[in-house]
Amino acid sequence: MTLTRRMILAAPLAAPLAGPALLPRVAGAQADARPVLRIAVQALPPTLEPLEAISNVGLRITTNVFDTLWRRDFRAEAAQGGQHLTPFLATSLEQRDPLTWVATLREGVRMQDGGEMTSADVLSTFSAERMWGDPVQTFEGRVNFGHLAGVEADGPRRVVFRTKTPDPVMPQRLAAYGGWIHSARAYAEGGRDGLRTKPVGSGPYRVASFQRDQRAVLESHDDYWQGRPPAKQVVFTVVPEASSRLAGLQAGDFDLVTNLLPEQIEGLAQHPTLEGVDVALDFAHILYYDTSRPALRDPRVRRALNHAVDTELLGRSLWGEAFRPMRALQIPAFGELYDADRRGFAHDPDLSRRLLREAGYKGEEIVIRIAPGYYLQMLQAVQIVQQMWLAVGVNTRLETRENLSLLTQPGADIRPTSIAFRFPDPLGGGLAVHLAEDYSLQKNGFWRPVRFNELVRALRLANDPTERKRLWLALLDEFEAEAPALILYPVREYFAKRRAIQWQHPPLYYMDFRATQLQFT
């Protein structure tokens, strides 16, 4: 019998569709006729410090509070393919020599505390203690900018970035995670605690209030350098259950709701005022193996597990017919580095059984540990994978924990994690970042590679395009030889919103409500 999405998922039925709803009521409309944008989310980040809020729930807020020096043009990428970068808080970025980049800052940019942006704000953002020194305050800052040797001002409108090694993707880094510019004055007064609760940036919305696990209210930064934002306020309200979020939209309590299931947006296809939005993300879910555990030490067992999984059937079952598999941890936006012919771990149960025999697998129990409520669809995905593994003779047991922090405790063989491609290059995410020696998978001792780390180090230093391509392909080969993880699928995000809201979601977890991205009709 062929598995179908409806057979696999036990999704709750949506509440009856409400009639047409008006745009949100606005207090004091005579003074400001702009609407309040009301959003129901599954969770909020524990902190608004942008380097600590890099998550599917945190990026939605920080995207609107902060700007970067450089910026990805997602609309151009969607229309033309490849990657497109544009000036943002910087008007130019010049490479003076292989180790020196100079950013010229835009004039007239007002921070949310009223001050004008200068090089002091950039230096505070990229300080050694916060971003690239040793020790460093936040690991996430060091992921992108640990290669910096120094950051200094050349006057109030120019900043010089010096790197320890040549970096062919410095513009992409400045447009990606970690590059959000905060107010030096606010940081000097409030420190990291201030950044965590009421950060000050130059973005289109300032933080009015933040109640952890409950509500975050952003209000318009009317002096925003790109023009007054289209919403008077943006209110994020935590509604943990997807069915309750959808019911709130249908009742007129919200204008946009996040993190739904495919079945839930299908029911809106004919609705006159509401619509579902399906977004393919530059994001993947994987199951990674603890290669120190007896049952998984032999790479042939790990390759067997990967060949046993029909990832196309798995993806279609969970994400619908629009699903497209990810053959390796790469995205087409890699451009010339993208290996379009890569087959990855093709579904081959016979090969899986042979590898298990050769490795001497005797049916030992393999423990999978997940936090069911954190990653959308993960519980259903693992249950399907368990059946596919059972079909080739692999014995598994599923354990659940309340949150991600409990997953890494000893005693499990397999755990889930997510992979974000922070910018469209191998150095922006995936193998060369999330599986590298300075990331958690190796830091926690779950994998001790043979040649993998050597290849990653070489790729980070390579500048020549041909050499970068050679090293990237070798890295993909090494991943397939050692099989430290199973790539489940590229993630899709499902929203529902009022049709009167004209807004598009990019392929990352940003929710951009600037005037260039959001309109009310």
Residue 332 included in any domain: yes
Same domain, 353 and 469: yes
Same domain, 337 and 478: yes
Residue 418 near residue 424 (C-beta atoms within 8 A)? no
Domain stop point among 164, 186, 208: 186
Same domain, 296 and 442: yes
> What is the distance between the alpha carbons of residues 370 and 288, in angstroms, rounded to a whole number?
11
Read off the pLDDT of residues 241-298 as tens digits, 9 standing for 90 and up.
Answer: 999 999 999 999 999 999 998 889 988 989 999 999 999 899 999 999 999 999 999 9
Cα 80 → chain centroid = 22
Same domain, 178 and 288: no
Which tokens go with 361? 């697998």
Same domain, 295 and 178: no
Domain stop point among 186, 221, 256: 186
Same domain, 339 and 472: yes
Residue 57 included in any domain: no
Same domain, 166 and 295: no
Residue 43 near residue 241 (C-beta atoms within 8 A)? no
Residue 148 included in any domain: yes
Same domain, 409 and 285: yes
> What is the distance between the alpha carbons of residues 242 and 42, in angstroms, rounded to a whole number?
7
Residue 385 included in any domain: yes
Residue 496 near residue 266 (C-beta atoms within 8 A)? no
Same domain, 458 and 310: yes
CATH of the domain at 395: 3.10.105.10
> What is the distance between the alpha carbons of residues 386 and 380, in angstroms, rounded to a whole number?
10
Residue 507 included in any domain: no
Which tokens go with 152? 């200094």
pLDDT score at 275: 96
Same domain, 167 and 307: no
Question: Which domain, by its residues, includes 141?
Answer: 70-186
Q: Rounding to the nearest 10 degrees, give the CA dihedral for residues 42, 48, 54, 55.
A: -10
Residue 359 near residue 298 (C-beta atoms within 8 A)? yes
Same domain, 289 and 173: no
Exposure pattern of 351-363 as b/e (b: 16+ CB <10 Å)?
A: bbbebbeebebee
Residue 330 included in any domain: yes
Domain stop point among 123, 155, 186: 186
For the chain, what percent of residues have pLDDT higher than 70? 94
Burial of 14 by CB count in 10 Å (0-12 exposed, 13-18 middle, 19+ buried)?
buried
CATH of the domain at 115: 3.90.76.10
| DSSP per position, 272-300 | SSEEEEEEEEEEEEEEEE-TTSGGG-SHH
> What is the distance between the alpha carbons of residues 190 and 480, in angstroms, rounded to a whole number?
47
Please list the residues that pair with 104 across neighbouring strands. Answer: 92, 158
pLDDT score at 113: 96
Residues in the chain with pLDDT values less than 70: 1-30
Residue 343 included in any domain: yes
- Which of 311, 320, 316, 313 shows the shortest CA–CA distance to 276? 320
Read off the pLDDT of residues 124-150 as tens digits, 9 standing for 90 and up.
Answer: 999 999 988 887 777 788 888 989 999
pLDDT score at 80: 85
For 160, list phi and psi in degrees, rounded to 5.
Answer: -110, 125
Count of domains forming the chain: 2
> What is the distance between the alpha carbons of residues 421 and 444, in angstroms, rounded to a whole number?
22
| DSSP per position, 412-470 | -SEEEEEEE-SSSSGGGSSHHHHTSTTSHHHHTTS---SSHHHHHHHHHH--SHHHHHH
Same domain, 161 and 287: no
> What is the distance between the alpha carbons of residues 451 and 470, in angstroms, rounded to a whole number?
15
pLDDT score at 30: 54
Residue 500 included in any domain: no
